[in-house]
Amino acid sequence: MTIKASDPERASNRVKTPLYVVIHRSTKVAARAKPKSDSTAPYDRFVDWKQHFARIYQNEPEKYQRLVAAEDRTGELASRVEELATAGSRIVDIGAGTGRLTLGLCRPGNEIHGIDKEAAMLDIARGRLEACGGQWQLSVADARELPIATGWADAAIAGWVFGHFTEWHPDDWEQELDKAIAEMDRVVRPEGIEVVIDTLGTGTTEPKAPNQALAEYHLRLEDRGFERTVLRTDYEFDSVEESIELLDWFFGLGDWARRHNNKRIPEYTGWWERTTSNQARGG
């Protein structure tokens, strides 16, 4: 799964580690530049992010599935998921939601365990996984307390989930993130693969975190040895009207979508990956 210099096409997508990430673990860094974020993103229209997403995940999973089904028209994310599906046979999908990653991971010979806090989201995933070629199991659980045996998995992936700690625990999100990473470390065998996925911008012309909190979160992942790859994962809706409806509902981007007036919406996604080792385990 690691990108090698001999793979020029994939290597061209790799974002060089920013200078503020390149530190020696044995030395103390006095100060570092803040990571780049999009301070003009309309996410601030939702004052209570926790309530906003809780309402969606608990009460509107079907509409959420409509949104995410329109993403990744370039196929770059699907390609990475397919690679992960062939890299190990036992995979944990943390924050499985409606199964947007789970379905791609579930192939003949694989065992997939999907985890999510919201039963309503998993109900959608369960219906979609009925046609899956591999073995699968879904559990309602917290990312910080996974119901999985130590060392069971060859790989674990957490898609668009850990970033929520910055909204749900604004005062101590770093500690909550570290707990989740520690659980990922625990369930993945040594020399296994760990992946974290998060947005790098919707409707933007360049990849960057939508706000400062997420930029700091991405930096913390990189401080812990996760290497970032940028993917282009554009949305393509059935109509301009649908793009306006769903972008306004989830992101607060309705006004932007009206001006954009296109059913194809630019999207960047970050894929952070590391291989577990005795040194890395525990975060």
243-278 pLDDT, tens digit each: 999 999 999 999 999 999 999 999 999 999 999 974
Residue 30 has pLDDT above 80, yes or no: no
Query: Residue 22 — pLDDT band, cuts 50, 70, 90?
Result: very low
Report d(CA 123, CA 137) in Å as an integer: 12
Give the pLDDT confidence score for residue 6 in this predicted structure.
34
Cβ atoms 87, 135 nearer than 8 A = no
Q: What's the rounded Cα separation, in Å, for the pair 246 and 237?
A: 9
Pairing status of strand 227-232 against strand 267-275? antiparallel
Q: Are 263 and 241 in contact (CB under 8 A)?
A: no
User: Domains in the chain, please, with CATH?
Assistant: 40-235+269-275 (3.40.50.150)
Termini Cα distance of the chain:
20
How large is the average pLDDT for residues 205-218?
A: 95
19: Cβ–Cβ under 8 A, 6 or more apart, which residues? Answer: 32, 33
Q: How many helices (H) and strands (E) does the chain have?
A: 11, 9
pLDDT per residue as tens digits for the range 148-186: 999 999 999 999 999 999 989 999 999 999 999 999 999
DSSP strand E in the chain: where? Answer: 90-94, 111-116, 135-140, 153-159, 188-202, 227-232, 235-236, 264-265, 267-275
Residue 201 C-alpha from the chain's centroid: 12
Strands in 44-187 per DSSP E: 90-94, 111-116, 135-140, 153-159
pTM across the whole model: 0.83
Q: For 197-223, what is the mean pLDDT? A: 96
On the question of pLDDT at 212 being above 50, the answer is: yes
Least confident span in 39-43, 97-101, 172-176: 39-43
Residues recorded for the chain: 283
Q: pLDDT: is 39 or 235 the higher one?
A: 235
DSSP state of 276: -
Q: Which helix (H) or strand (E) holds 20?
A: none
Maximum pairwise Cα distance, the chain: 54
